[in-house]
Amino acid sequence: MLEFIVRAAVMYIMALLMIRLLGKRALGELGPFDFVVMTGVGHTVVSVALDKSIPYYEGVIILATLAILEYFMGYLALKNQGLSNLIVGKPVVLIEDGRIIKDNLAREKFNIDDLMQELRKQGVRDIDEVERGILEACGGFSVILKEQDEPVTRGDLGIKEVIRNGTLTFVPVTRREIFELQKQSPSQGEPDVCLPQSLKVIENQLGEILNRLRRLEEK
């Protein structure tokens, strides 16, 4: 009995060290290759812990091999966009401008009930609010709302002026293009904004809206 406890504890520590060395990526939502590796880790830990005929060193070698494979494939995927698409997969757009793309839905075997569930999780009331709904390579679901349906931000109110570099998350772009955009548009900080002046602008806009409403009522 004690031997089983010791074997389980040793393999647990080895698996923990392996995952810790692989970094936080191994703890997030798993891609296809990550899932295979983590499944292999779990199977190895259980097998070595319960089967006395399997020496410790064999379990350690298997865990080390899986760790090296995970690190090596992650490095290759980082350096090569095509290989990354092959190993990790590519995001797939399921909703475009408030309309469901049936062909993509069928290809990914993602039914309407699953789609509605994911939209509810994101707090979306109406599909028409969605500019793009994206099924990520890891299996997660992301929603980009249309501009008119996005929550009001401090920048919209004029309290803070925000400088953007134009790196959109819902447009397909390569790693090289992202880094080039970062170089071309470095962060310049947030310039000071006069709050009274911003409030005056908002007041004028509200006044214009009220005037339009009065004209509509008169008609």
Tokens found for residue 130? 């969605």
**Distance between CA 192 and CA 103 in Å, rounded?**
48
State the Cα–Cα distance between residues 162 and 165, nearest whole angstrom. 10
Which residue is associated with the tokens 């772009």? 173
How many angstroms separate the CA atoms of 114 and 104, rounded?
Answer: 14
The pLDDT tens digits along the chain (219 residues) read 677 677 777 777 777 776 666 555 555 556 666 777 777 778 887 787 777 777 877 877 888 888 787 778 777 777 777 777 777 778 889 999 989 998 988 888 888 888 888 899 888 888 888 999 998 877 788 898 888 777 776 666 665 555 666 666 666 667 677 767 667 655 555 445 555 666 777 788 888 888 888 887 776
- Domain spans of the chain, in order of start: 2-86, 91-151, 157-219
Spatial distance between the Cα atoms of 119 and 127, rounded to a whole number of angstroms: 8
- Cβ proximity of 52 and 78 under 8 Å: no
φ and ψ at residue 177, rounded to 5 degrees? -65, -40
List Cα–Cα distances, 166 to 77, 99, 153, 181, in angstroms. 25, 25, 18, 7
Which fold does the domain 91-151 belong to in CATH? CRO Repressor (3.30.240)
Distances (CA, A) of 197 to 159, 202, 207: 10, 9, 15
